[in-house]
Structure 1
Amino acid sequence: MPASPYLIPLHHVGSPETGYITSTQFAGNIPFDIKRVFWTQATPPGVERGHHANMATEEVLVALSGSISVLTDTGREKQKFELTHPQQGLYIPAMCWTELRFSEGATALCLTSTDFSEADYIRNYGRFLQLAEHAAL
C-alpha cells in the first residue's frame, strides 16, 4: 500500500535567548537519503503552487519562515497540513498530489530523495488519479 504524508519533528538545539539551530545531522526520522535541497521564496500570497505529484521522488517540506498550507492527496485520502515553524517537516511520499499556499514572506525548504527530472512529474490531476488507482490495486 502506498505511503501517507505525515509530520516529522526536526532536531533542534538552542533557547529563546540565543536562538535555535535546526539540523538534519540527526535525521534518522527522514525516511530517505537526501539527494537534492531547494527552497522557494517570494511566492505572493494567493498564488497556489504545487499542483503535481512525483512518480518516484519523496520529499520533506519545511516552512523556514512564514507558514505554508498544504493539501495532500494520495488518491485515496486527502489531508490538510499547516506548516508554521522550522522545527517540523512534512513528509510527502511518492505518488502524492500536493497544493501549497504560502503566507506573506514564507520560505519553503524541500529535501528530496532524487535529483530533479521532469519525467518524474505528474502535472495532470486526472492522470494522477488513474495512476494512483492502478498503484492501489
Structure 2
Amino acid sequence: MPANPYLLTFERIGSPAVGYITTTQYAEQLPFKIRRVFWTHGTPPEVVRGHHANKATEEVLIALTGTVHVKADTGNQVQEFELSDSQSGLYIPAKCWTELRFSGDAVALCLTSTDYSEEDYIRDYAYFKKLATHAAL
C-alpha cells in the first residue's frame, strides 16, 4: 500500500521581538535522509507546476514565503493542501502525482531523498494511474 501525503511541523525557536529560526535539526522529524535541496521561485500564479510523480524519490515541500497549493494524487486518493507557513512542510511520498500552484511571491523549498534523475520521473498521468491501479491489486 503506498504512503499518503501528510503535513509535518518543524521546531521554531525565537520570538516576535528578535525573529525566528525554524529547523529540521532533529532529523527524526523527517521520514528520510535528505539527499538534495532545491527551491522554486518566480513562478507566475497562472502556471501549474509538477504534473509528475517520482518512482523512488520522497519529498518534503515547504512554502518559505507566499502560498503553495498542492494537489496530491496517490492513485487511490486525491488530497489538497495549502502551504503558507514556513514552520510546516508537506511530505510527498514516492508514487504520488502532484500539481502545484504558487502565489506570485511564493518561494518553495524542497527536500528530497534522492539526487535528481530523469529516469525517476513519471510524467504521463494515464501511465501513472495504470501503475497505481496495478499496485493496489
TM-score if structure 2 supplies the norm length?
0.98
Give the SS at the match of 2:100: strand
State the match for 1:93 in structure 2: 93
In 1, Cα distance between equivalents of 2:90 and 2:109: 11
In 2, Cα distance between equivalents of 1:129 and 1:50: 16
Q: CA RMSD in A?
A: 0.7
Give the SS at the match of 2:135: helix
State the match for 2:118 in structure 1: 118
State the match for 1:19 in structure 2: 19
In 2, Cα distance between equivalents of 1:37 and 1:23: 14
Q: Structure 1 residue 27: deviation in Å?
A: 2.8
In 2, Cα distance between equivalents of 1:10 and 1:134: 35
State the match for 2:81 in structure 1: 81
1:33 is the counterpart of 2:33? yes
Q: Structure 1 residue 121: deviation in Å?
A: 0.2
How many residues in Structure 1 have an aligned counterpart in Structure 2? 137
State the match for 1:104 in structure 2: 104
Give the SS at the match of 2:128: helix
List runs of 5+ in structure 2 lacking aligned partners. none
* Worse overlay, 63-72 or 18-27: 18-27
Equivalent pairs: percent with the same residue? 65
In 1, Cα distance between equivalents of 2:109 and 2:38: 6
1:134 is the counterpart of 2:115? no
1:53 is matched by which residue type in structure 2? A
In 1, Cα distance between equivalents of 2:37 and 2:135: 27
TM-score if structure 1 supplies the norm length?
0.98
2:31 is matched by which residue type in structure 1? P
Superposed structure 1 runs of 4+ greater than 3 Å apart: none
In 1, Cα distance between equivalents of 2:27 and 2:66: 23
Q: Structure 1 residue 12: deviation in Å?
A: 1.4
**Equivalent pair of 1:11/1:27 in contact (CA under 8 Å):** no
Give the SS at the match of 2:30: coil
List runs of 5+ in structure 1 lacking aligned partners. none
